Amino acid sequence: MTGAASYNVYRNANKTNALPVYATTFTDSGLQPGTAYTWTVRAADGNGVEGAASAPAGGTTQGTTPPPTATCTTATNYAHVAAGRATTAGGYTYAKGSGQNMGLYNVFYTTTLKMTGTNYYVIGTCP
């Protein structure tokens, strides 16, 4: 935009800067590791009226996505299988990921599963 007074930066279509950007560089913060992002820039005039968005620029941050916070679920073995936390074979139930034997596949056995990673569960207790 000819005569731009400032700029606004958008990450994945959401404005990232709280105040107008006056420099020709911008450092984005609060990014997650191992995540893909797309940025666009819009020039603004002195009244804050924005022009058209720039062509998108994309990138992926380095690192790996951290595992989710460990969560525990206590339920029947049948419910664990129905929710995708466990599998069944030969009449027994096995924790997804660790493969730990949880006992018979029915509504009478109750087990506490602790999620320690993406689609990874262990038999355990939570505080």
pLDDT number for residue 14: 94
Percentage of the chain modeled with pLDDT above 90: 72
Structural domain including 78 reads: 71-123
Of 34, 60, 86, the residue that ends a domain is 60
In terms of pTM, does the model score above 0.85?
no
Residue 76 CA to residue 108 CA, distance in Å, equals 7
Give the Cβ contact number of residue 80 at 10 Å: 27
Question: What is the total count of domains within the chain?
Answer: 2
Domain co-membership, 55 together with 12: yes
The answer to whether residue 49 is domain-embedded is: yes
pLDDT band at 51; cut points 50, 70, 90: very high
DSSP structural state of residue 68? P
The answer to whether residue 23 is domain-embedded is: yes
How much is the average pLDDT of 28-36? 88
Contact assessment for residue 77 and residue 35, using Cβ atoms and an 8 Å cutoff: no
Domain co-membership, 78 together with 51: no
**In whole angstroms, how far apart are CA 80 and each of 99, 103, 106, 108, 112?**
13, 12, 10, 12, 9
